[in-house]
Structure 1
């Protein structure tokens, strides 16, 4: 039997809460990134609806094995997108709430865990929670039988903590909370229910994230030959050789 080298796709890992989990829906920001990276990179969705940074920190070693350094070298980038649940008000939603200082510490620990697994800080992008539209989110809360459990001003505090943690860890950061409200623009168009992203919000995230992500994946080659370059008389010579 002839021997050949397996084809290995680099990875971009999206790690976060529901805003990440839902990003592979039609028009989602994760789907947009995956489309841009066809035949160059696998985009892996590790979004976990309802999760906070406390749970993420505990779970991360099960998602990215620190002992598998060879595989982790193929990780081109990791996005870390938590905070929308951490910033829930403690008295209204104690299960998801994480105190501000602990949230900051958790992000730093996530960065440390990634580094120890062989994913250096320059391959990590923190993403802050987006702004919150309280009237719309309150309607969602009431429908589920509980009072408004988040405030935009509090989400802003967590966004600021995320930006500061990124600076201390040496990672890039996408500050959605600030960008979506820049120059007094109507940020509500970016939200579907006051908390999660609308179609415009998903496109906003995709466009701004790509600015940060592109430099990390620009060097990645097109995987396997273009069909027109395959030798039709001897396809094995094209398809089983190292690029």
Structure 2
């Protein structure tokens, strides 16, 4: 995800944007109780939270580990090239895989278990390395959800995607990383009691606008 400041232009009011990039876990984050929806609610009147997560975008649903790391780094470097510094970027690793539940999903679709939690861990480690190399923050869900050997099954709805409890877990750990990044953002548009009735445009667009 990346936070981009708004540019000022004449009397237009342009909102800063927090953009969420990812796959189905990101796409589903705007469902009721999702971590993306919680971010949008927390940041209302400060910035727009845009969901750009796309489910099943890869045809083969597999990217080799080296290619995954290279792709991720190229995305962060591209954001830097268009004015989004690394300190405004947060990378999020995949959560761990609950193999027993995901195997049941696979069997129901007529196929064998097609993922392993240890392999997911390799991709999570690659994500952490990219963040460190690029100077970005990282939320290592794979490690956090398994910390001290805890049972993480309740965080997943089908073994792969987040449950309501998993969404709450993500938000509770992601918000502290974001809070300091968005803290300088002002409250956009004044409270209704603070609007000058005679010339509301002065309150809404600023005294310096004409």
Q: So what's the TM-score if we normalise by structure 1?
A: 0.78
1:153 corresponding residue in structure 2: 118
SS in 1 for 2:187: coil
Report the counterpart of residue 33 of structure 1 in structure 2.
Answer: 39
Call closer, same or farther: CA 1:140–1:9 in 2, change over 3 Å.
same
Mapping 1:44-63, distance limit 5 Å:
44-51=50-57
Name 2:185's counterpart in structure 1: 220
Task: Say which of 74, 99, 102 aligns to 1:109.
Answer: 74
Where 1:231 maps in the other structure, the secondary structure is coil
2:26/2:53 contact within 8 Å kept: yes
Structure 1 residue 182: Cα displacement: 0.3
- Contact 2:97 2:116 (C-alpha < 8 Å) held by counterparts: yes
Deviation, structure 1 residue 242: 5.3
Q: Which residue of 2 aligns with 1:98?
A: 63
Give me the TM-score of the superposition, normalised by structure 2.
0.90
Does residue 124 (structure 1) correspond to residue 130 (structure 2)? The answer is no
What's the CA shift for 1:221?
A: 0.3
Compute the RMSD of aligned alpha carbons. 1.5
**What does residue range 1-243 of structure 1 map to in structure 2 within 5 Å?**
5-51=11-57, 95-241=60-206
Deviation at 1:51, TM superposition (A): 3.2
| Structure 2: runs of 5+ lacking an equivalent | 1-9
Query: Any gaps of 5 or more consecutive residues in structure 1?
Result: 53-93
Distance in structure 2 (CA, Å) of the matches to 1:222 and 1:104? 37
CA contact (8 A) 2:13 2:205 kept: no
Q: Deviations over 1:104-151 (max 9, x none)?
A: 111111111111121111111111010000110111111222111100
Tell me the matched-pair count. 199
Change (3 A) 1:236 1:108: closer
